[in-house]
């Protein structure tokens, strides 16, 4: 992704993290978290969610920043005595087993949309929590990227190339707030709350649409001329499907706020 596009995405994710932590604080009626250990699943090298927690709850006891990529943990420049870094994967129970039953809160922003077996990951979060512990998840459940790729894959010359594209598997049809609320309740969470938000972000220019295509990680194996033709066709198709606002293409997606509590007796 181009640097300007990456910078914009980072800013949006930080703003999202601040907003989501405030939402969790209101819904769960958090005070100062001075006696709480909070785990951040999928912290990323920017530590957006950890920063948001420290800004709003400077007296928090400890933050466990978890990521499944060691390079990400090495790249982070932000340091704080309350942050402990942990290499782990929420999809693998064994990688975080030493923390089971010890977390007061588990929070994850902009991570669960990348996990195909979400039920398994939610169950692992449940195991990490102390009785009475709280969990909050903020992730994308639908996007124009998925819709766009679905339409593109229906074009015969791109069908075979796109059928295994990872982004096509991310958002299962009909998996929205009702589905995930019932899933958490099935696992054992109580007081589950789920609500969706539609977000709209303008592309800075038509040229930044190319960065969007690169982020989709489509391996077309085309010649330079073929790649140019594909980019032009893709842009035209995207504009026809999603239109423009004030002259700019937009990225439209739906984020899910999902909260739950592990009962004291489970």
Contacts of 99 (CB under 8 A, 6+ apart): 39, 64, 86, 128
Average pLDDT over residues 23-46: 96
Number of other CB atoms surrounding residue 5 within 10 Å: 19
Average pLDDT over residues 252-264: 96
pLDDT at 3 over 50: no
Least confident of 6-15, 56-65, 183-192: 6-15
Q: What are phi and psi of 60, to 5 degrees?
A: -55, 140
Q: CA neighbours within 13 Å on the CB side: how many for 93?
A: 11
pLDDT at 212: 85
User: Considering the chain, what percentage of its residues have pLDDT values greater than 90?
Assistant: 63
pLDDT digits (tens, 9 = 90+) for 49-94: 999 999 999 999 999 999 999 998 888 888 899 999 999 999 999 9
Q: What is the pTM of this model?
A: 0.88
Helix axes of 224-242 and 144-153: crossing angle, nearest 10 degrees: 120
Burial 84-113, CB ≥16 within 10 A → b, else e: ebbebbbbeeebbeebeeebbbbbbbbbbb
How far out from the chain centre does Cα 86 lie?
Answer: 19
Residue 107 and residue 14 in contact, taking contact as beta carbons nearer than 8 Å: no
pLDDT at 1 over 60: no
Residue 11 and residue 51 in contact, taking contact as beta carbons nearer than 8 Å: no
**79 or 137, which is more confident:** 137
Number of other CB atoms surrounding residue 201 within 10 Å: 14
> How does residue 166 score in pLDDT terms, banded at 50, 70 and 90?
low
Average pLDDT, the chain: 89
**Which tokens in the block code for residue 106?**
């588990």
Average pLDDT over residues 170-188: 87
Average pLDDT over residues 155-164: 76
DSSP conformation letters of 28-58: HT----TT-EEEEET-TTTTHHHHHHHHH-T
Name the β-bridge partners of 40: 65, 107
From 219, 12, 239, select the one nearest 148 (Cα to Cα): 239
Average pLDDT over residues 108-126: 95
**170 or 259, which is more confident:** 259
> How does residue 10 score in pLDDT terms, banded at 50, 70 and 90?
low
Name the β-bridge partners of 37: 62
User: Considering the chain, what percentage of its residues have pLDDT values greater than 70?
Assistant: 89
What is the Cα–Cα distance from 229 to 246, expressed in whole angstroms? 26
């Amino acid at each position: 992704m181009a640097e300007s596009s990456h910078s914009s995405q980072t800013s949006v994710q930080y703003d999202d993290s601040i907003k989501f932590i405030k939402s969790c604080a209101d819904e769960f009626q958090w005070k100062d978290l001075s006696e709480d250990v909070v785990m951040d699943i999928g912290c990323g090298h920017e530590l957006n969610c950890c920063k948001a927690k420290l800004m709003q709850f400077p007296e928090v006891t400890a933050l466990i920043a978890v990521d499944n990529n060691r390079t990400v943990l090495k790249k982070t420049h932000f340091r704080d005595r309350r942050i402990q870094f942990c290499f782990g994967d929420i999809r693998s129970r064994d990688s975080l087993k030493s923390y089971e039953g010890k977390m007061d809160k588990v929070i994850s922003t902009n991570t669960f949309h990348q996990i195909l077996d979400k039920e398994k990951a939610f169950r692992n979060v449940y195991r990490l929590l102390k009785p009475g512990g709280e969990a909050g998840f903020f992730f994308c459940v639908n996007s124009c990227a998925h819709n766009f790729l679905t339409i593109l894959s229906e074009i015969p010359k791109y069908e075979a190339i796109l059928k295994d594209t990872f982004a096509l598997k991310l958002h299962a049809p009909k998996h929205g707030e009702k589905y995930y609320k019932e899933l958490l309740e099935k696992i054992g969470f109580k007081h589950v709350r789920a609500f969706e938000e539609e977000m709209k972000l303008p592309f800075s220019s038509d040229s930044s649409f190319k960065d969007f295509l690169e982020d989709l990680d489509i391996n077309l194996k085309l010649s330079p001329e073929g790649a140019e033709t594909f980019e032009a066709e893709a842009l035209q198709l995207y504009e026809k499907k999603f239109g423009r606002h004030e002259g700019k293409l937009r990225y439209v997606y739906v984020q899910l706020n999902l909260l739950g509590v592990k009962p004291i007796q489970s």
